[in-house]
Amino acid sequence: MMLLDIPTGTPGTPDFAWSTSGNGLTESFLIESESLVWRGGGHATDGVVRAWDYESDAPATGVVTFTAAEGWLFDRLEFDVSGFKEYERQASVQIYLEGELFRDFLWNFDGNSTLIHWGASFESQLGIDNPDQISIAISYFDGVQYAAGLDNIKISTVPAPGALALLGVAGIVGGRRRRSA
């Protein structure tokens, strides 16, 4: 399980990089995001990204997309969504698997005292095939900036079934070469 938690970069800009921790290969997936802003320094909780169109200074749908590298699939996804200060607001959160809407939530927040956690394993808990692309989209209904934020994204990958078969074949071929030499 890999945790994508505290963005690094200049607070208040969309120019941040996701940091990773935990056991796992960072080479197993790529991360892209748009209309997500990291606000530090008293504007918001450090390490939380919020949906905002930085150029127009208006609410937006913030999206983070994970694309598995060749030979990998996603096994599990977890994340938290929290409110901001004392604002009572709603946020819409959608999860897309391979470009198709998978889950659509409308969550109410009573300021930052509300923390909503979502997480599941795709095959073992949900009974669906492990996807090779996941997107999380968050947007606001009533225009209060930074009314909800995305945090503590955890993701895990597993080798794709075809990749495991190729590794097995490579091991057999390699073993035969050593014995015949």
| pLDDT score for 29 | 85
pLDDT at 141 over 90: no
The domain locations on the chain are 2-180
Task: Write the pLDDT tens digit of every residue in 38-66.
Answer: 765 544 566 678 887 777 777 778 888 99
| pLDDT score for 57 | 73
Query: What is the CATH class of 2-180?
Result: mainly beta
Nearest to 81 by CA among 110, 123, 39, 40: 110
| pLDDT score for 135 | 94
Task: Write the pLDDT tens digit of every residue in 78-102.
Answer: 999 888 778 888 888 999 999 999 9
